[in-house]
Structure 1
Amino acid sequence: MILNQKNLNNFINFAEKLIKKSEKIIIKQHINTVKVKYKKDSSPVTKIDQLIEKNFRKEIKLKFPSHGVYGEEYKNSKLNNDFIWVIDPIDGTKNFIHGNLSFGTMISLLYKGAPLFGIINSPLLKKTWKGIKNKGAYLNNKKIKKNSSNLSLKDMVISHSGMSAFKQLPENKLYNKLSKIIRYFILGGDCVQYGLLAEGKIPMVVECDLKPYDFMPLINLIEESGGIITDWKGKHLSLKSNDKVVASMSKKAHQEFIKISKTI
């Protein structure tokens, strides 16, 4: 399959339909008690996570049988294909199961390793963020203006998803070092904090212990809203990236962060 504007529009429309279906499942189930199981790494998973990803995979296989799929809950397939769908059925499962609204469903399509677009849907916050390569960033289908700045690291408020990700010594050292430089840390909400960053409400997000399905759908949104997103060494993100991600609306602060992280 070739990549052209018509096909790209078809891909985006298809992804948006999947997101709408997942939203209905989440809204219907969220009012009920959610049964939780735990994976080998102690991270929680629910039947809702599994149902959404299973539905996504089924629809992708029917519509685009040659495309690859990289997801959280099931075995990845056809990763040698030029087109690969990246799925996170519920990013922020811990928040979801405890009634916190800061969670969402994410989907992205990669072409030859680079994301063409990414969608983050937070159904209970009634927000859908979308980034399309070279076409802009959107909140509920309204274009987001570029929110880039030239603030220094000392001016940053940094969002993260919890201290458990910083429990290892190198990451903990970085956290302590940053705490003496920046204004303060705030506790974010997984994918939602990146949406708020794109809106210009959060200046920087720093996380570790992530998987590619946690960050690949974010790339277009952040870049198209005027921001930067890389690993902690400043390298571009890919399916082969490590678990550490920093996103910022300030190139200056981003570079200062990377300089510090390289010393840890």
Structure 2
Amino acid sequence: MSRLGADIALALRLADAAAGIVRPLFRARVDVDVKADLSPVTEADRAAEAAMRRILEADRPRDGIIGEEYGETRPGAPRQWALDPIDGTRAFVAGRPTFGTLIALLEGGQPVLGVIDQPVTGERWVGQLGEWPGTTLSGRPVKVRPCAALGLAHLATTSPFAFSGAGHAGFSRIARAVRDTLLGGDCHNYGLLAAGFLDLVVEEGLKVYDWAALVPVVLGAGGVMTDWAGEPLALGASGAVIAAGDRRVLEAALDLL
């Protein structure tokens, strides 16, 4: 097995471990705490990340870990795992199956492997760079769809309230230019884009554990994903991201941002 193949196998073990904790708590009566940034967190978030961390500490003790709930371990390591146990905790608490567990491997600050796992529906996207198939959904290769113009695009974002003032103005310009805009969805939107059901996703204020797993999934399916300046996403990026299935749509959207 290649090194990347071994890393994929490990990432799937992490996803299985998180799913085993999150699935039984979905639509259960869980306590919800509010973190300093006013985002919600539950016992499912904390327990799922802790389970993934235990596996990584045993199997990859030299690799770094960047997790939403428990911070950084071995910062600056050449290889780092970015973990978001429940991307979309608000959706999880509300009983909506549009959240997901995000697992990414970064090498030299660049994401090379990403998993989006929806533990309730069983949907699992796996994206890798430089290998075939680049992105799979539940084991089957997927590809983005072509979209010739921004006016034909279906746009998605999790919440318009997550943008800054200037960011909201840019997003609004794009929303007025596209065919349709869908709200909600968190990481699920990027998986749907990779599978050819959406054309454009625009968001701001993401942390590395929010976006790192999404990049290989989108790129592996033939899409494009950058920051709002059109630069590739890497460790230290601003967190203002844009993903498109067709480069023509991305470029038109960047002009409006």
- Normalised to the residue count of structure 1, the TM-score between the two structures is 0.93
Offset at residue 74 of structure 1 (A):
1.0
Offset at residue 104 of structure 1 (A):
0.6
CA RMSD, aligned part only? 1.3
**Residues 1:85 and 2:81 are matched in the alignment:** yes
What stretches of structure 2 of length at least 5 have no aligned partner?
A: none
Give the secondary-structure state (helix, strand or coil) at the position aligned to 1:40: coil
Offset at residue 175 of structure 1 (A):
2.7
Deviates more, 1:247-256 or 1:169-178: 169-178
CA contact (8 A) 2:17 2:52 kept: no
The one-letter amino acid paired with 1:237 is: L
The one-letter amino acid paired with 2:136 is: Y
- What is the aligned residue count? 255
Give the secondary-structure state (helix, strand or coil) at the position aligned to 2:104: strand
Match of 2:139 in 1: 141
The one-letter amino acid paired with 2:118 is: S
Match of 1:122 in 2: 118
Q: Partners in 2 of 1:143 and 1:133 — Cα distance?
A: 14
Q: Partners in 2 of 1:179 and 1:112 — Cα distance?
A: 35
Equivalent in 247, 252, 257 of residue 251 of structure 1: 247
- Normalised to the residue count of structure 2, the TM-score between the two structures is 0.95
Q: Partners in 1 of 2:139 and 2:80 — Cα distance?
A: 24
Q: Partners in 2 of 1:211 and 1:140 — Cα distance?
A: 26
Offset at residue 88 of structure 1 (A):
0.5
Match of 1:27 in 2: 23
Offset at residue 31 of structure 1 (A):
4.0
Offset at residue 125 of structure 1 (A):
2.0
Alignment of 1:106-255 (within 5 A): 106-135=102-131, 136-144=134-142, 146-166=143-163, 168-255=164-251
- Once the two structures are superposed, residues 169-204 of structure 1 have per-residue CA deviations (whole angstroms, 9 ceiling, x without a partner) of 202211332233211211131011111001100111
Give the secondary-structure state (helix, strand or coil) at the position aligned to 1:180: helix
What stretches of structure 1 of length at least 5 have no aligned partner?
A: none
- Ranges of 4+ aligned residues in structure 1 off by more than 3 Å: none
Match of 2:44 in 1: 48
Deviates more, 1:124-133 or 1:175-184: 175-184
CA contact (8 A) 1:132 1:220 kept: yes
Give the secondary-structure state (helix, strand or coil) at the position aligned to 1:138: strand
- Once the two structures are superposed, residues 144-163 of structure 1 have per-residue CA deviations (whole angstroms, 9 ceiling, x without a partner) of 1x324242112112100012
Give the secondary-structure state (helix, strand or coil) at the position aligned to 1:237: coil
Give the secondary-structure state (helix, strand or coil) at the position aligned to 1:246: strand
Offset at residue 92 of structure 1 (A):
0.4
Match of 1:36 in 2: 32
Q: Partners in 2 of 1:117 and 1:176 — Cα distance?
A: 32
CA contact (8 A) 1:148 1:225 kept: no
Q: Partners in 2 of 1:176 and 1:164 — Cα distance?
A: 12
The one-letter amino acid paired with 1:152 is: A
